[in-house]
Amino acid sequence: MGKFPPRVRFVVETFLAYDRPTQTPSPEWVQFRLRWFVDHTLRSLRAQTWREFEIFVQTGERYRDLVNAFAWPDDVRVCRQRGREAYQEGLGRYDFLSMTRIDSDDLFRQDAMDEVRAAVLSRLPVKERTVLVFPARSVWDAMNGLIIGPHTRPSSPFFTHIFPYSMVADWPAFQAAHFCGHGSGGAGDRGAMHLSRDKVMVVKHGWNWSNLKRGKSWPKKAADLEKLQAQFPGVEVTCDPARIAAILSEYGQ
């Protein structure tokens, strides 16, 4: 292991047009998501107060032509085969690897990665996979013009895995430890070290796969504040355009 201060490689990782056996989105969905990622998610990452991290987009083969034809920004690395080449090129150059997951249509507040960095450094050195998690999220309902404030969910996909970089050399073991689902899927987010509650914004834009895969669409309707406040007790719900704009500005929007 290298001398301290440790050499840490920080990566933000997302999945877009990724081959999943139970999900077959349309080409139109992929094209929408590519544009949304650059216009919104990437903007939130570029707006981070601490920016010394790489951005990996994990993709697959089903929509290779669409992905290849897209005008990818220079600060995004497109990965196939789970990015083995990209990750393993760091062997011998780094002591630790930190990978923070974000959905390709969601947002981080501008100080989110600053908090991740501080938390990672506070846990080093580690000898095995160590997990951090943002346990709560806000929701920007872009279709209906409202934001639901931070609220906790039973599990969270917004986790960070920390590994000794030497573990990346054993690629099958590394894949098994890292590429797993949140909740009961093995990512470890339920038992992870909790970070702040106000750093993640989930976006409802009408093309959310969680709805489309069930044959549903995100409803466009007038906000029922009374019902929302009953559903999210003690959570701020705002429909004021000026307040919404102020909140979204903290997420690079």
Position 119 in a domain: yes
Number of domain units in the chain: 1
* Residues of the domain holding 88: 8-136+155-196
CATH code (residue 190): 3.90.550
Chain mean pLDDT for the chain: 90
Which tens digits make up the pLDDT trace of 128-147?
A: 999 999 999 999 999 889 99
Instruction: Say if CB 101 and CB 162 are below 8 A apart.
Output: no
User: Mean pLDDT over residues 182-186, rounded?
Assistant: 88
Position 2 in a domain: no
Instruction: Say if CB 102 and CB 12 are below 8 A apart.
Output: yes
Position of tokens 């906790």?
152
Determine the pLDDT at residue 61: 86
Which tens digits make up the pLDDT trace of 74-126?
A: 999 999 889 999 999 999 999 999 999 999 999 999 999 999 999 999 999 99
Residue 42 has pLDDT above 90, yes or no: yes
Helix (H) or strand (E) holding 177: helix 171-178
Determine the pLDDT at residue 2: 47
Position 126 in a domain: yes
Kindly state the percentage of the chain with pLDDT values over 90: 73
Position 179 in a domain: yes
* Number of other residues whose CB lies within 10 A of the CB of residue 33: 20
Higher pLDDT, 11 or 26: 11
Position 12 in a domain: yes
Determine the pLDDT at residue 231: 84
For 176, phi then psi, to 5°, come to -65, -35
Cis peptide before 125 (omega within 30 of 0): yes
Which tens digits make up the pLDDT trace of 44-59?
A: 999 999 999 999 999 9
Position 54 in a domain: yes
Task: Tell me whether residue 10 is exposed, middle or buried, using C-beta atoms within 10 angstroms of its C-beta: 0 to 12, 13 to 18, 19 or more.
Answer: buried
User: Mean pLDDT over residues 40-44, rounded?
Assistant: 98
Position 250 in a domain: no
For 136, phi then psi, to 5°, come to -130, 165
Residue 205 has pLDDT above 60, yes or no: yes
Position 18 in a domain: yes
